[in-house]
Structure 1
Amino acid sequence: MRFLFRLLNDIKLAGNARQKYVFFHKTVKHILKYLILFSGVIFSLLFFYKEQLVFAFATIILTVILYGILAFGTTKTQTDTENNEQNHIL
């Protein structure tokens, strides 16, 4: 609960609307990454315990794919695009 209050306070102090959006987007993405990783480990251990190996390995593969998409996917914000365009002009 304390984490959420700190997060909301950081969002209020972030600055203009674009900075708040980018900060919130990165924070939600960070939380989702670890939620997917944690739930994937829990479900795969549960399936291993129940001796359903096909579901356990499928859960591991799906967790790795989803985590990879969130961790290494492109997340270009509008400010990144504007900075790249300004560097190209210079």
Structure 2
Amino acid sequence: MQADPVDDRIDDRTVEPTDTAAIERLLDELQRESQQRRAELRALAAQLPEATSRRALVRSMVASVVHAPNRPLVVKRAVLKLARTPADVLRRLRPR
């Protein structure tokens, strides 16, 4: 596992509790890096698709089943999963 570069910087520096200027510089540097990471994450989040409605999700699933090469197997798995659902719900509701 890779060490965090911030930890390395902090370990390399010996900052006396009375050296407030050095502490302020270190905190400012950490704050700038944090803001840079936030900006990168916001840019990544902006590239993600918008939330999909359940109707659109079901519609795309049906479309993929229609065009699936092995439709009988896909339908069989879906039916088996639906058949297990009531048992799963009962198991979750039953007190332990």
Shorter-normalised TM range: 0.3 to 0.5
With the length of structure 2 as denominator, give the TM-score of the two structures: 0.38
Determine which structure has greater relative contact order: mean sequence separation of CA pairs < 8 Å that are 6+ residues apart, divided by chain length: 1
With the length of structure 1 as denominator, give the TM-score of the two structures: 0.40
Q: Which protein shows a greater Rg?
A: 2
